[in-house]
Amino acid sequence: MEKEMEKEGKSKGGWIFFWVGVAASLVLGWLIFPGLIHSKKVQPVHYSHLKHGEGGAGLQCEECHAFRDDGSFAGIPPLAKCLECHESPQGSSKEEADFIKVAEKLKQENKNIPWLIYSEQPDNVYFSHAAHIKMAKMKCEECHKLVGGKTDKNPVYNYKWISGYAPEVMMMETCEACHEKKGKSNACFVCHK
């Protein structure tokens, strides 16, 4: 009888350890682990799409984010493009004064602004801006909602340090939903090469 009670006590103690382990795993997996693989990043200088876009200077996306002659997307503009307008201050804001200081230093070092690219995709994803902008006649803001000229805030994103990109910006589900809405193919080979 004593052995049975001892055996039953050990099995109750085992269940307690089991549930403590489950609870610890849930806390680690849902609360702690995401914080370990993400890091917040902000742009190196303040930039306002609102002040540069239609609500401000009246620039169109393509004026800074141009296409090359071969139809491929050039991406982030070089410092020289910024300096076409900002060789000297355009106003008296602190942000612009800070930008001018950074720009002068980078120009002397023959470097570009180290902009963070929030919509960078993994290597197995092929995305053609020409197919979406030129052929499908989509507006940049349809995908780039946070930087489409609607806000004056400098965006902050969570980067995954493992992969180096911010998946909440351009997620596969977002692309699939858009393709479905527009009646385009969602076959794997369309985006994954």
Contact predicate 14/86, CB 8 Å: no
Per mean pLDDT, which of 68-77, 90-99, 126-135 is the most reliable? 126-135
Confidence of residue 6 (pLDDT cuts 50, 70, 90): low
At 76 the pLDDT is: 86
Confidence of residue 73 (pLDDT cuts 50, 70, 90): confident
**How would you class 178 by CB atoms within 10 Å of its CB: exposed for 0-12, middle for 13-18, buried for 19 or more?**
middle
Average pLDDT, the chain: 80
Per mean pLDDT, which of 10-14, 94-98, 109-113, 145-149 is the most reliable? 109-113
The first and second tokens of residue 123, run together, are 């290597």
At 158 the pLDDT is: 66
Residue-wise pLDDT tens digits, 126-159: 888 888 988 899 988 788 776 655 555 566 666 6
Distances (CA, A) of 31 to 28, 101, 108, 172: 6, 40, 45, 24
Contact predicate 193/124, CB 8 Å: yes
At 189 the pLDDT is: 92
Q: By three-state DSSP, how is residue 51 classified?
A: helix
**How would you class 84 by CB atoms within 10 Å of its CB: exposed for 0-12, middle for 13-18, buried for 19 or more?**
exposed
Which residues have CB under 8 Å from 77's CB, separation 6+? 64, 65, 66
3-state helix, strand, coil in the chain (%, to 5): 50, 5, 45
The four Cα atoms 166, 167, 169, 173 give a dihedral, to 10 degrees, of 170
At 9 the pLDDT is: 52
Q: Which domains does the chain have, with CATH numbers?
A: 38-44+115-193 (3.90.10)
Residue 1 corresponds to which amino acid? Answer: M
Contact predicate 57/152, CB 8 Å: no
Strands (E), the chain: 38-42, 156-160
